[in-house]
Amino acid sequence: MRGLSVCAVPADSDSMTEPRHLSCRTCGTRESHRPLTVNQKAWLRGKLKELYVEEYCMCAKGTCRNVRTYNTERCWPDPLKIPPGID
Ligand SMILES: [Zn+2]
């Protein structure tokens, strides 16, 4: 008999597709951040010269569109924003 049943933590596999409240360096507040779309990832890949951009998300407040990773608010010296029209 197993008496010690620790609360199972649900797998985190869906978390990357859900909007998250994160601090935004240009808004100065905690805002909802969206995962990037296919087109936005393609743009970011070209911009950063990086192939792996799954960890990035963007601020969903108004026209902010500031990019960060889920873990790091300031990824670059200057803010990076997804240009309008890339959705
Ligand atoms: Zn923002």
Residue 7 lies in a domain: no
Considering only residues 27 and 4, tell me which one the structure prediction assigns the higher pLDDT.
Answer: 27
Residue 13 lies in a domain: no
The predicted-structure confidence for 13-42, as pLDDT tens digits, reads as follows 445 578 899 999 999 999 999 999 999 999
Which domain, by its residues, includes 24? 19-87
CB atoms within 10 A of CB 7: 5
Residue 11 lies in a domain: no
pLDDT band with cut points at 50, 70 and 90 for residue 7: low
Measured in Å, residue 15 CA sits from the centre of ligand 1 at: 20
Residue 56 lies in a domain: yes
Residue 45 lies in a domain: yes
- In the structure, ligand 1 is a single-atom ion and the residues with CB under 5 Å from it are 24, 27, 31, 59, 61, 64, 66
Residue 12 lies in a domain: no
Residue 49 lies in a domain: yes
Percent of the chain with pLDDT over 70: 80
Q: How many domains does the chain have?
A: 1
* Sign of the alpha-carbon dihedral angle for 66, 45, 55, 69: negative
The predicted-structure confidence for 55-75, as pLDDT tens digits, reads as follows 999 999 999 999 999 999 999
Which amino acid belongs to residue 3?
Answer: G
Measured in Å, residue 65 CA sits from the centre of ligand 1 at: 6
